[in-house]
Structure 1
Amino acid sequence: MTDTADLLFRLEQRVQLLEDKLELMNIISAYGPAVDSGESTAVAGLWTEDGVYDVDTGCLSGRAEIEAMVHSAPHQSYIAGGCGHLVGPPHLEIDGDTAVATCHSQLVKHDPETRSYHVARITANRWEFARIDGRWMVTLRTNRIIDGRDSAREILSAGVTAKA
């Protein structure tokens, strides 16, 4: 390979990595606005058809169950009362057509009595992705409440610990 061809190859790889990271961050950052506005189709559309959303209150399997969560009475009460699902910047690891993102998220709810907001929960998040037909999609998202249990720390640690 010539120096120019090698340079172009390395630049192409770097640009692809940057594009992949940007697309993955856009997926993660779309979750909050979509779920807080009740856009159930947009929320579910982030996942593959058989994708899983594993929350410590239970697992949602497939887009239909994820859409149903957005339409559920508890979630609709969050929206009606004023809420924000805030997802922190992710630590991303990409390996070919799969990727993992590790981050924190918060559920912030409005308190009409005090006209203020409070953090209802903070969770550790692991997002797993696959590139399917050229598009990144969530295959599994695992959330665990950060309340002192090992499960949340394990998610955070696994996302930033170098692999042997």
Structure 2
Amino acid sequence: MTDTETLLIALAARVQLLEDQLDLMRIISAYGPAVDSGESAAVAGMWTEDGVYDVDTGSLRGHVEIEAMVLSKPHQSYIQAGSGHLIGPPHIEIDGDTAVATCHSQLVLHEPETGTYRVARITANRWEFARVDGQWKVTVRTSRLLDGRAEAREILAAGVKN
């Protein structure tokens, strides 16, 4: 193989990695706007058909349960009053057709009575992805409240270990 061929192969691999990182960041960054606008199908479509959203209150499995969460009365009340699911920049590790992203998120809610906003919760997040038919999809998202319990800190620590 010539030096030029070796260079082209290396550059193609680097470009693929960058494109994969960008695709994963697009999915993660789209979650907040989708869930805050009530776009239940868009939210569910981020996951594989059998994907899991594991939150402190329980696990949602598959598109039907994830859509139902967005359409639920509690979630709709957040939207109607004003809500912002804010997700920090993710730390992403890619291994072929799987990836893991680790980040913080917070839910900010509008208080109509006072016209102010409050942070309702801050969580540690682990997003697990698989490339399915050429597209990245969430297979599991685990979110744990940063309320002093070790489990949330462990999610963050595991995501940044080399």
What TM-score, normalized to structure 1? 0.98
Q: Distance in 2 between matches of 1:150 and 1:129?
A: 24
Q: List gaps (5 residues or longer) in structure 1.
A: none
Give CA deviations for 1:9-37 in whole Å, capped at 9, x if unaligned.
00000000000000000000000000000
Q: Provide the secondary structure at the position in 2 that maps to 1:114.
A: coil
- Counterpart of 1:34? 34
Aligned counterparts, 1:2-151, within 5 A? 2-151=2-151
Q: Distance in 2 between matches of 1:132 and 1:45?
A: 12
Q: Provide the secondary structure at the position in 1 that maps to 2:85.
A: strand
Q: Distance in 2 between matches of 1:80 and 1:135?
A: 32
Q: Provide the secondary structure at the position in 2 that maps to 1:38.
A: coil
Which residue identity does 1:122 align to in structure 2?
Answer: I
Give CA deviations for 1:50-103 in whole Å, capped at 9, x if unaligned.
000000000000010000000101000000110000010000000000000000
Q: Percentage identity across aligned positions?
A: 76
- When the two structures are aligned, how many residues end up with a matched partner? 162
Q: Distance in 2 between matches of 1:3 and 1:132?
A: 34
Q: Distance in 2 between matches of 1:75 and 1:151?
A: 25
- Counterpart of 2:153? 153
Which residue identity does 2:95 align to in structure 1?
Answer: D
Query: Following TM superposition, by how much is the alpha carbon of 1:114 offset from its aligned partner in structure 2, in angstroms?
Result: 1.8
Bigger mean CA offset, 43-52 vs 110-119: 110-119
Q: Distance in 1 between matches of 2:45 and 2:25?
A: 15
Q: Distance in 1 between matches of 2:36 and 2:69?
A: 12
Q: Post-superposition, which runs of at least 4 consecutive aligned residues in structure 1 deviate over 2 A?
A: none
Which residue identity does 1:125 align to in structure 2?
Answer: N
Q: List gaps (5 residues or longer) in structure 2.
A: none
What TM-score, normalized to structure 2? 0.99
Query: Following TM superposition, by how much is the alpha carbon of 1:161 offset from its aligned partner in structure 2, in angstroms?
Result: 1.1
Which residue identity does 1:25 align to in structure 2?
Answer: M
Q: Distance in 2 between matches of 1:86 and 1:61?
A: 23
Q: Distance in 2 between matches of 1:135 and 1:111?
A: 38
Q: Distance in 1 between matches of 2:116 and 2:13?
A: 47
Query: Following TM superposition, by how much is the alpha carbon of 1:113 offset from its aligned partner in structure 2, in angstroms?
Result: 1.9
C-alpha RMSD of the superposition: 0.4
